[in-house]
Every structure is written in C-alpha cells, then in structure tokens.
Amino acid sequence: MNQKLYMVSLGPGDVELLTLKALNVFKECDAICVPTKSQDNSFEKSISYNIVMSALDVLEVKKPIVSVYSPMHFKYEDWVNEAEVILETLGQYEKVCFVTLGDAAIYSSIYYLLDIIKDKNEMIYKNCEVIAGVTSFSAASAVAQKALCLGDEELIIKPINPRSAVKRTEVLMRPKIGMDTKSLGEGDFYTFENMYLKDAKITPSKIEKVKKYMTLFINFASRD
C-alpha cells in the first residue's frame, strides 16, 4: 500500500473558508481522522467535525470518519495516542486525512504529531502533505474590515498563557530587488520565491541577494 497522510487545515469555522485543495483531498481520501475533546469519542462538541461534515455535503460524498481523542492538555502521551490512531487508520486505508482548525501553521498539534509519526514510520512522514488554510485572525480581520498590517506596521501573534519562555518566528516580507540580506540577521531561515507560480523556489536558508519582489523569508523559532 502506498500510504499517504494529509494534514488538512479547515479554516476558522465556515465551510466556505475551506480551500479547494482541502476539498479535493477530502474527495480523494479513503478516511478522515477528526479530533474530538470528548473522552467517549463522540463529536458532540467538535467544531472540526461540523466543518468536515459540511464539506462532505458540499461534495456529495460520504467518507469513513475516525474519531481521534484530543484532550488538548498539551501532553506528550496524548499526542502519541493521537499519532497511533492516525497510523492505525493508515493500516486500514491508503489515503488518510487528519484535520486541524484554522491554519496548520498556527498553534496546531499537527507538528507534534508529525514528529512522533516520523519516529514511528519515516515513509509516511516523508509522504505527508500539509494543506494550508485560512487563519482565525485573517478571517477576523476580514469580518472587522480592518487590515492587520499596512505600510510600515508589523504583526505580532502571541500566546496569551505561555508555558515557558516565549520564542519568536519572524516573517519578513516586501524586500527590495537587489538588496543584500545580511541585515535580516541569522537563524533558521527559509526563503520562498514565487511560491505556487512559475519558477517557484524554496531554499532552506537565507539567499544572499533578493532577485524577485515575490520573495518572503521566514526565520523560524529555534526548536530542539
């Protein structure tokens, strides 16, 4: 079996804020793993379940739904149990989705799960695809009709109740063509040029000189 795992971002709650990529993955997959906070594995309080069911209605398809107990206590053992349910589901079905609210990049458990999956089954980890989505704060900005950043403003996203020292990821946008990137500092940089466009290039470091305006840098928080 050529198993494939998709980590699918669901957006902030409205099925219309799902991406076409997410819908296509739901159409293609054999089963969908949905997290729930209910210990009895029911979906009574699961926002994710409601979005997934609305999406399947839109697509007019039915898919097996697998409940993944996710108590959200930020405990390693819980993530191990969740990863095991996902891997067991991949033992039964070839293409499996796991869903997460908003966008997977923002405070989602999926990267904890992927670290565990990498240790348990490297092939599945390497074959995994993360589907981007609309963040809660992009949607909030649209609802309020207020920009998150304009001109020379910057955007800060903070955990309200941090458990330890707060680290920082920086997204650096709107470079000047020809600029030297020394001034951007050092760290765990990635450079993204013309993403999803012709000549798209992703470099897992900081390029020295900017060639295109459609370039963004991410200096990821240092993680052990």
Q: Which residues bind ligand SAM (CB under 6 A)?
A: 12-13, 101-103, 106-108, 135-136
Chain residue at closest Cβ approach to ligand SAM:
102
CB of residue 77 to ligand SAM, shortest distance in Å: 19
Q: Which is nearer to ligand SAM, 7 or 29 (CB)?
A: 7
Partners of 171 in beta bridges: 218
Q: Which helix (H) or strand (E) holds 32?
A: strand 31-36
CB of residue 178 to ligand SAM, shortest distance in Å: 34
Sign, Cα dihedral of 117, 118, 120, 126: positive
CB of residue 107 to ligand SAM, shortest distance in Å: 4
Partners of 120 in beta bridges: none
Amino acid at 88: E
Q: Which is nearer to ligand SAM, 136 or 194 (CB)?
A: 136
Separation CA 20–CA 32 (nearest Å)? 17
CB of residue 121 to ligand SAM, shortest distance in Å: 25
Q: Which is nearer to ligand SAM, 127 or 136 (CB)?
A: 136
Q: Which is nearer to ligand SAM, 133 or 175 (CB)?
A: 133
DSSP 35-72: EES-TT---TT-HHHHHHHHHHHHHT----EEEEE---
